[in-house]
Structure 1
Amino acid sequence: MRLLFPIDLRSDTVTKPCAAMRRAMAEAEVGDDVYGDDPTVLRLEEEAAGLLGKEAALYVTSGTQGNLTAILTHCGRGEGVVLGRETHILNFEGGGMACLGGVVPLAADDPSGLPGIPEMEAVLRPADNVHFVRARLVCFENTNNRRGGHASTPQEISERASWAHSRGLSVHIDGARLFNAAVALGVRAADLVRDADSVQICLSKGLGAPMGSLLCASRDFVARARFWRKRLGGGLRQVGVVAAAGLYALRNNIDRLAEDHENARRIGEILAEGGLEVSAAKRPTNMVYFKAKDVSSADRILEACRSKGVLFNKSAPDTFRLVTHLDVSAEAAREAASLIVGVSRS
């Protein structure tokens, strides 16, 4: 089999719609979604809510917009959100909760992918003390990107959600790669979010759609979130043309995520066998992190691999992240890993 270059391992957001997905987009029924008239969006929202065991869903432009819409629906200005130090919401979403909502992040250590109950307890303060921010929400990320694509179990989520609810806190899950977690653990996605008050899932990562995310929750919550989506500039018109891609993704691209996980596992094996230091998540999915000897050699490895058509990014000055996805075959994964080993040795 002749491999096509580049082999792009920068992210699972770089996928291209397949021919069948493009046909679905071309043939989609459309309407004005702000008026609730787009039939394809309505089908997408219904199917997503059903998959996650929630009453309703709201189609949004991106995972960042979905998370921000959820936070602003849950919290008022000056209120706090407990979340892990290594979460995407805290590190990679532009500080939207603070900038646009006046919501205060309360960062807890999350060494295993989720903050533990003691870590979350440590950042809470007495609600009746006027000196302290009053927390309203806890956010979890599953899978956790910065923790190597680690998948957290239903039990881990449930015990933390139970604690949060006992403290009067709501629970939101950033499930940008929730289906990766479900496939890796062999559970239903609904099992992972059954105790969450809201959850965001991304269609444009491992599922391969060109854009879009869904915010799933109760009907009342989604109705209130719709106002925040509009306020954030997320009112959509004849968007069924891309919602159709999301429907195709949900119907066809979930089970195949296991292939991405296997390709990531094999990449990690080849890198480790080649003498590179690979950081393995406890429950890995579609990400591989590895380290160079030092910063200068990291720059050399990155540029040499790019020049040969293997693309990936740094996650730290001496550390790289590789992400497998539906546009990376098993053969391409092996070829990329072997090339990285060769470049590292040269």
Structure 2
Amino acid sequence: MQINLVSDTVTKPSYEMLQYMFNADVGDDVYKEDPTVNELEDRVAAIFGMEAGLFFPSGTMANQTAIKLHTQPSDQLIADKFAHIFHFEAGGVSFNSGVSCRLIEGKRGMITAEQVSAEINDPDFFHSPKTSLVCLENTTNLGGGACYEMEELEKIKEVCDEHGLKLHLDGARIWNALVAKRQNPKDFGKLFDTISVCFSKGLGAPVGSVLLGDKETIKRALRIRKVLGGAMRQSGYLAAGALYALENNIKLLTEDHRRAKELANVLKKKEWVAAVEPVETNILIFSLIPEYSDSVFIEKLKQKNISINAIGNRKLRMVTHLDYREVMHTYVLETLAKM
């Protein structure tokens, strides 16, 4: 029994999801003639109360398209120092949009309205880049699956409106946040100019994200997706996996969250653990005391068929997901307790 807790991206489609994908009604999505893709885009837009959606092969491409939509070369965006768009999108912010990042020291990947306001450049001071966009991430990846409170998001939106800034949400794990905080997705749709939502992590689909916005914005996004090479043909087979996930897998996220918290509770009791960060969703980040080596610890777990990863600064990460079953969970809990 191999147990992979490296990421929730390791999930594979279930037999039922694959059957649903095989039976998809498809067309040529480049001509917007794939009925399954169209259904997914419309359904996700409706869930968030936004006008339109566009299917992308990856969350990175969806985020990069959003940044391109809202900025001009030499502009600057504001984000937390842990932001996925900065750390894990291969420098696409500068390569695709010619934009720099003003990174803020937030708390567990989350920034406040007060911090955003303090970092907006004076638009009349032409020596500084023009601030044009704020990018938030929910849940936060390097922040350990932390979730924004709606009240803070509303305050950030007020700052953006006051200064004429656009607001984008990297919602790679937005489904986890919605379940954990019992929030209404339409409240997010009211606040953000664009939202990217992912289906290939905890929801278990093999591929795909949807970028949401108003009709005019998504019309412009269609051209940018083409420029980035993201136009696909019979992509309804992939969109069907996302539709199946919407119908069947969101409710299962509560189990991922429970298991992550139970893993944290075991680690908190071990004398070789220096710190365990708070767990809200499916990401668990912890660190060992200085006397213990991260690489040795990871190797010891590998010998017991358990894979986790290091994320830098002596931090280790476990991510629970759809394919991490209860029998695996019991084994990992017992293994950690005995170490």
TM range (shorter): over 0.9
Residue in 2 that maps onto 1:22? 18
Residue in 1 that maps onto 2:139? 143
Moved more, 127-136 or 283-292: 283-292
Tell me if the contact between 1:98 and 1:104 (Cα under 8 Å) persists in the aligned partners: yes
Tell me if the contact between 1:41 and 1:239 (Cα under 8 Å) persists in the aligned partners: yes
Tell me if the contact between 2:86 and 2:93 (Cα under 8 Å) persists in the aligned partners: no
Residue in 1 that maps onto 2:43? 47
Residue in 1 that maps onto 2:173? 177
Residue from 249, 255, 262 that aligns with 1:259: 255
**TM-score of the pair, normalised by structure 2:** 0.96
* DSSP 3-state at the match of 2:160: helix
Tell me if the contact between 2:108 and 2:142 (Cα under 8 Å) persists in the aligned partners: no
Deviation at 1:76, TM superposition (A): 1.1
Residue in 2 that maps onto 1:327? 323
Unaligned runs of 5+ in 1: none
Moved more, 312-321 or 52-61: 312-321
Residue from 148, 154, 157 that aligns with 1:158: 154
Tell me if the contact between 1:141 and 1:175 (Cα under 8 Å) persists in the aligned partners: yes
Letter paired with 1:210: P
Structure 1 residues 119, 23: closer, same or farther in 2, change over 3 A? Answer: same
Tell me if the contact between 1:40 and 1:240 (Cα under 8 Å) persists in the aligned partners: yes
Q: Show the 5 A alignment for 1:227-238.
A: 227-238=223-234
Give me the whole-angstrom Cα distance separating, in 2, the residues matched to 1:183 and 1:191.
14
Q: Show the 5 A alignment for 1:236-275.
A: 236-275=232-271
Residue in 2 that maps onto 1:280? 277
Moved more, 9-18 or 322-331: 322-331
Q: Deviations over 1:262-296 (max 9, x none)?
A: 01011111111233234233x61001111122386
Residue in 2 that maps onto 1:311? 307
Give me the whole-angstrom Cα distance separating, in 2, the residues matched to 1:94 and 1:312.
23
Q: Deviations over 1:64-109 (max 9, x none)?
A: 0010000001111111111111111111111101012101111122
Residue in 2 that maps onto 1:97? 93
Letter paired with 2:29: D
Residue from 309, 333, 336 that aligns with 1:337: 333
Number of positions where the alignment pairs a residue of Structure 1 with one of Structure 2:
338
Letter paired with 1:342: K
Matched-pair identity in %: 36
Residue in 2 that maps onto 1:63? 59
Q: Deviations over 1:4-49 (max 9, x none)?
A: x211101001011111100011101111111001100000101110
Residue in 2 that maps onto 1:218? 214
Letter paired with 1:197: D
* DSSP 3-state at the match of 1:256: helix
Give me the whole-angstrom Cα distance separating, in 2, the residues matched to 1:278 and 1:240.
45
RMSD: 1.4
Tell me if the contact between 1:313 and 1:320 (Cα under 8 Å) persists in the aligned partners: yes
